Structure 1
């Protein structure tokens, strides 16, 4: 399997944009703007380290991001707060259209890891995976 060697805000942003493009191509979603709701996912039997806990308790807390529709820049800044460490996986789901703005949910692991450990490398835009329909 191919290994991802580096991660920074530019790569992360580009990979997120590639992921949401799949919704236009495969899902027929057309939009001129987009917003993101980050939903941290606590994984059963997956231990968090100190950095993960710091992100969970502070940056990704309900008070800070709960159900807020974030811009692309804010989303990238939040999830790349520990760069080059980023969430080990992020599932991207289309939620709804609000006029010309597409709302996406990012179901994100709370485990922040180095690029070589990221999942979804096979998509070409790790750590993201587009969930076009819930059966995939």
Structure 2
């Protein structure tokens, strides 16, 4: 199993871009204008630490990001609030087109962990799991 040993904004942004490109290729999306909607997922039975709770209540709250369409640098900024930690996993899917902008959904774990614990390392773009 491939293991990730470090995570920062550059790596996270690159991995997000790789996941987007994979979806764009499969779905034959040609637009270079992309935005993201971030939605956190409650994982029942999983324990959140203090940093996780802070991200949930302040950064990933409906009031802060609910339904907003974010540019890639803003999405990275929101989800990178605890670098060198990152969400344990993020499912990325294509929602649809709004004019000439491709809208993607990021469903994210609320558990922010060190790079060695991130899921989807085998994809080459951890922690992102492409949903087609």
- TM-score, normalised on structure 1? 0.95
Q: What's the CA shift string for 1:76-134, capped at 9, x where partnerless?
A: 011011001110000001001112210000000000000000000011000001101xx
- Does residue 114 of structure 1 match 2:114? yes
Q: What's the CA shift string for 1:29-52, capped at 9, x where partnerless?
A: 221210000000010111101000
Q: How many residues align?
A: 132
Q: What's the CA shift string for 1:52-79, capped at 9, x where partnerless?
A: 0000000000100000001111100110
Aligned mates of 1:69, 1:10 — CA distance in 2: 21
Structure 1: state its 5+ residue gaps. Answer: none
Which runs of 4 or more aligned residues in structure 1 lie more than 4 Å from their structure 2 counterparts after TM superposition?
none
The CA RMSD measured in Å over matched residues stands at 0.7
Structure 2: state its 5+ residue gaps. Answer: none
Q: What's the CA shift string for 1:3-52, capped at 9, x where partnerless?
A: 10100000000000000001122121221210000000010111101000
What residue number does 2:131 align with?
131
Aligned mates of 1:12, 1:48 — CA distance in 2: 21
Aligned mates of 2:24, 2:72 — CA distance in 1: 17
- Does residue 6 of structure 1 match 2:2? no
- TM-score, normalised on structure 2? 0.98
Alignment of 1:1-136 (within 5 A): 1-132=1-132
